[in-house]
Amino acid sequence: MPADRADGIDLSSFLIAVNAVIAAAILVLYAVRGPNDYVGTYTVCLSLAFAAQNFFFLLVTGRRPNPFLLLLVVHALVFYELRVATLLWEPWSMVFVRNSFGAADLGNGLLFVILSNFAIFFGVTAHSEKYADPAPLAGDGRASVRLLLPVLLLNIAVLLEFNFKALSALKGYLGIFLNADILLLFSLVVMVLYYDVMSKRQKALLFCSIFVFIASRTVSGSRSAMVTLCFYLFCVWFGVNGRVLFRKKLYMALLAALPVAVSLFLFATAVRSPRLQLQARTIFDRIGFLDMSSEVIANRLPYSAVINFEHYFKSVVDSGLTPGFSVFEAPKAANLLSFINNGMPAVSLKAVHENYESDMFTVYAEPYVLFGPVWGLIAIFAAAFLFQRAYRSLAGRDLFKLAVFRATLLVLFYTYFLDSFGIDWFLVDMIRFAVPFTILLFLFAKYAQYIPNHRSGASK
Amino acid sequence: MTVLRLFRSRAGLIAAVFAASLISGALLFLLPPPVHEVSMLMEVRLSTIGPYSEQLTWTVRQTIESGALNDMIARKSGLKGPKDVPKLRAKIMYATQLIKVYAFVPSQDVERTKTALVSLLQVLNEGFSEEDASHTRRVSLAVEKAARLEKAKKDMDARLDKAQLSPDMNKVSGELTAWTRDLSGMLREYWDVIQDAQTLHTYRIKMVSPPAVSDSPEGLSPLQVLIAFGLLGLMAGLSAALWSEDRKK
């Protein structure tokens, strides 16, 4: 795509500036507003160390692009470092009030986050420097793109997300494999990989379909449509181009898009709960993943009743392997934290269905509860290392499939590793998505691109 | 491995930055006076928990945090002016009517802060009860008026019962009875409204636990200084090493 040129600014350089702004905001807010019930001097000092760590990671990934490291830093900046600033601004959190929680607990949580990020850093960079990085993928110049199938499937999937009565019968069957998120990811791969060979009409059609996706998600009350799109685009872009270089204007547009994303969030919230009065603290709370990590770490003992491998096994059997019936009546662990906080540890699938709430464990809190602090860090390192090794070992002659696999691995790293809702959640989703992913990959690889003298999976 | 290579090639630089960070941490630990948390727990009490309960607690919290009461607190506690009142923070305890009011102050200001917190409670009770008293007065007047109307209605009923009325007058009497029935209905509604209003306004702010000082001062312990500034120094040192390597290249 045209923005990815040698004269562009690397995303890591842009993030260095963002990191500096957030660190400065923490210092200024601490000086002006002073410590509070959740953020003490220790946490502020740790957050400076955290900012220095992010800076170092950005320097490393600026030198040698590493998608995992870049995702880690984006995640750390937006959901962790920024949270210290917002807590200094408004010490309010829906998570901290679930149990007894104070500034010392937040400090301990942030310290474990810093140590875990070291473990992830070592995991995703643990390869020989002589070892070549995955090469960028250039779309085949002879190829032509056929957009009928991607656009048609994406729009049907979006349509099915609305609960139209007329489509309810269709939804039952088509909904199994027409997954809108998978279709969006594949359509973005087509767009980024074959942008140069697409006609103006095709580009316009694809952009319109993506717009329809965002609009429909927002109208139906989902608050993360824009974020999902940006995140998928990042993963696809990195998978195809090997690094993210944008022109200055695009960074300006990204900054300008921030109010749009906030407006969409407010609108979707209004659609979801018309009576709810949304305030800044609600948004800060929603993007404060540091709260979840620190709170689960601070209350490891009660949560270990459901965050354990025995429960994971039971919930995977009930939610993923037994369609229509259950063996153990064990809901997914992430659905049970709210019940534990309300003093109801043993609940059924039906109770969860009636009072649905899911709580994120994050990459930091889950290993801490499962293995303890030291073995938890080793487990985090091992998982990060496996992601990096799998990404580097991806190979194949079909560029589309290779780009899809790379992008998918990055999506998995972010969605199920950094933002973990539990290993059981990950396994259940893998079971659910395996079939639609395989079918759609086959369809897209076969029909969405046409390369003369080329058979999918065979040599060109 | 980037980090190991940096340690080998730029050990001196990393060590220097690390040491500088630890020294600045030690200075930060030693120089400023210890800061203590002084806090008080109070309850915004309502006769019933209703839809306005949370709103009311938030109003009290925002009033405290805005500093709008500082002038009155200063006068009440004998301080020179509102600037002498420490920065008060308030936190609503989840799903309760409890508000924790707290401030972080140096050791020498602890007693002054305690006095200010006690004064805050008095100011709040006086400020809010003024509104309460005026409302109660209005409610009592309305209740008296309603009682007079009800008594008049009862008298009228009794007199109509006793009177020997002509058929025409009987018809008028029937209409009058219907009118008094309406009046009774209206009075009942009036009482309901009055009672609701009383429910909303019969609250008071009560101290649950008096102002107290935290056991240990807020701030950094030597171990925390070592951890936080050690990490900061390490990361800054590594970044400096990487930067110097790039510059050399």
- Distance in angstroms (rounded) separating the CA atoms of residues A310 and A204: 50
Q: Please tell me which of the candidates A33, A52, A129 has its beta carbon nearest to residue B235.
A: A52
Tokens of A262: 């906030």
Contacts of A55 in chain B (CB under 8 A): 235, 239
Contacts of A275 in chain B (CB under 8 A): none
Contacts of B28 in chain A (CB under 8 A): 45
Contacts of B87 in chain A (CB under 8 A): 33-34
**If you average pLDDT over residues A18-27, what whole number do you get?**
96
pLDDT confidence tier of residue A148, bands split at 50, 70 and 90: confident
**If you average pLDDT over residues A155-171, what whole number do you get?**
75
- Please tell me which residue of chain B has the smallest CA distance to A125: B1
Chain segment A280-312, per-residue pLDDT in tens: 777 888 888 999 999 999 999 989 989 999 999
Mark yes or no for CB contact B220/A42 under 8 Å.
Answer: yes
Chain segment B42-59, per-residue pLDDT in tens: 988 765 444 455 567 778
Mark yes or no for CB contact B220/A45 under 8 Å.
Answer: yes
pLDDT confidence tier of residue B136, bands split at 50, 70 and 90: low
- Distance in angstroms (rounded) separating the CA atoms of residues B228 and A391: 34
Write down the pLDDT at residue B16.
95
pLDDT confidence tier of residue A20, bands split at 50, 70 and 90: very high
| Residue A160 CA, distance from chain mean position | 23
Contact B44, B101 (CB under 8 A): no
Write down the pLDDT at residue B178.
76
Reported pTM: 0.79
**If you average pLDDT over residues B229-248, what whole number do you get?**
91
Beta strands in B53-188 (DSSP E): 89-92, 98-106
Mark yes or no for CB contact B236/A52 under 8 Å.
Answer: yes
B111 has pLDDT over 80: yes
Q: Please tell me which of the candidates A41, A49, A111 has its beta carbon nearest to residue B219.
A: A41
Tokens of B247: 């510059």
**If you average pLDDT over residues A421-444, what whole number do you get?**
92
pLDDT, mean over chain A: 85
Tell me the backbone φ, ψ of residue A251, rounded to 5 degrees.
-65, -40
pLDDT confidence tier of residue A317, bands split at 50, 70 and 90: very high
Mark yes or no for CB contact A55/B239 under 8 Å.
Answer: yes
Chain segment A205-252, per-residue pLDDT in tens: 989 998 888 888 877 767 677 788 888 998 999 888 888 887 788 778
CA distance readout (Å), A269 to A218, A222, A230, A444, B160: 9, 8, 20, 34, 62
- Distance in angstroms (rounded) separating the CA atoms of residues A42 and B224: 7
Interface of B with A (CB under 8 A): 1-3, 5, 25, 28, 35, 87, 89, 91, 93-95, 100, 102, 104, 218-221, 224-225, 227-229, 231-232, 235-236, 238-239, 242-243, 246
In the block, which residue shows the tokens 């085949």? Answer: A140
Mark yes or no for CB contact B231/A53 under 8 Å.
Answer: yes
A259 has pLDDT over 60: yes
R_g of chain B, CA atoms, integer Å: 34
- Distance in angstroms (rounded) separating the CA atoms of residues A385 and A391: 10
- Count the neighbouring beta carbons within 10 Å of the beta carbon of residue A452: 9
Contact A247, A13 (CB under 8 A): no
B150 has pLDDT over 50: yes
A391: helix, coil or strand?
Answer: helix
Mark yes or no for CB contact A56/B218 under 8 Å.
Answer: no
Question: Domain residue spans in chain A?
Answer: 1-136+278-299+362-371
Chain segment A328-365, per-residue pLDDT in tens: 888 999 999 888 887 776 677 888 887 888 899 999 99
pLDDT confidence tier of residue B202, bands split at 50, 70 and 90: low
Tokens of A358: 């899911």
Mark yes or no for CB contact B243/A59 under 8 Å.
Answer: yes
Write down the pLDDT at residue A458.
40
The sign of the dihedral angle between the CA atoms of B44, B63, B197, B119 is: positive
Chain segment B162-175, per-residue pLDDT in tens: 776 677 777 777 77
Write down the pLDDT at residue A85.
96
Contacts of A33 in chain B (CB under 8 A): 87
Mark yes or no for CB contact A56/B228 under 8 Å.
Answer: no
Mark yes or no for CB contact A46/B227 under 8 Å.
Answer: yes
Chain segment A93-115, per-residue pLDDT in tens: 888 888 878 888 999 999 999 99
CA distance readout (Å), A166 to A155, A169, A176, A213, A216: 16, 7, 17, 20, 18
pLDDT, mean over chain B: 79
Mark yes or no for CB contact A48/B228 under 8 Å.
Answer: yes
Q: Please tell me which of the candidates A36, A41, A49 has its beta carbon nearest to residue B89.
A: A36
A4 has pLDDT over 60: no
Q: Please tell me which of the candidates A49, A97, A111 has its beta carbon nearest to residue B94.
A: A97
- Please tell me which residue of chain A has the smallest CA distance to B219: A41
Mark yes or no for CB contact A37/B102 under 8 Å.
Answer: yes
- Percent of chain A topping pLDDT 70: 89
Contact A154, A411 (CB under 8 A): no
**If you average pLDDT over residues A146-165, what whole number do you get?**
82
Tokens of B161: 């019962």
A161 has pLDDT over 80: no
Mark yes or no for CB contact B228/A45 under 8 Å.
Answer: yes
Is the complex ipTM more than 0.90?
no
- Please tell me which residue of chain A has the smallest CA distance to B89: A36
**If you average pLDDT over residues B198-206, what whole number do you get?**
63
Most confident of A173-182, A439-448, B94-103, B233-242: B233-242
Mark yes or no for CB contact B91/A91 under 8 Å.
Answer: yes
pLDDT confidence tier of residue A457, bands split at 50, 70 and 90: very low
- Distance in angstroms (rounded) separating the CA atoms of residues B104 and B86: 8
Mutation site, A26, A55, A59, A282, interface B, largest B CB count within 10 A: A59
DSSP code of residue A135: P
Q: Which of B96, B169, B106, B246 is nearest to A56 (CA)?
A: B246
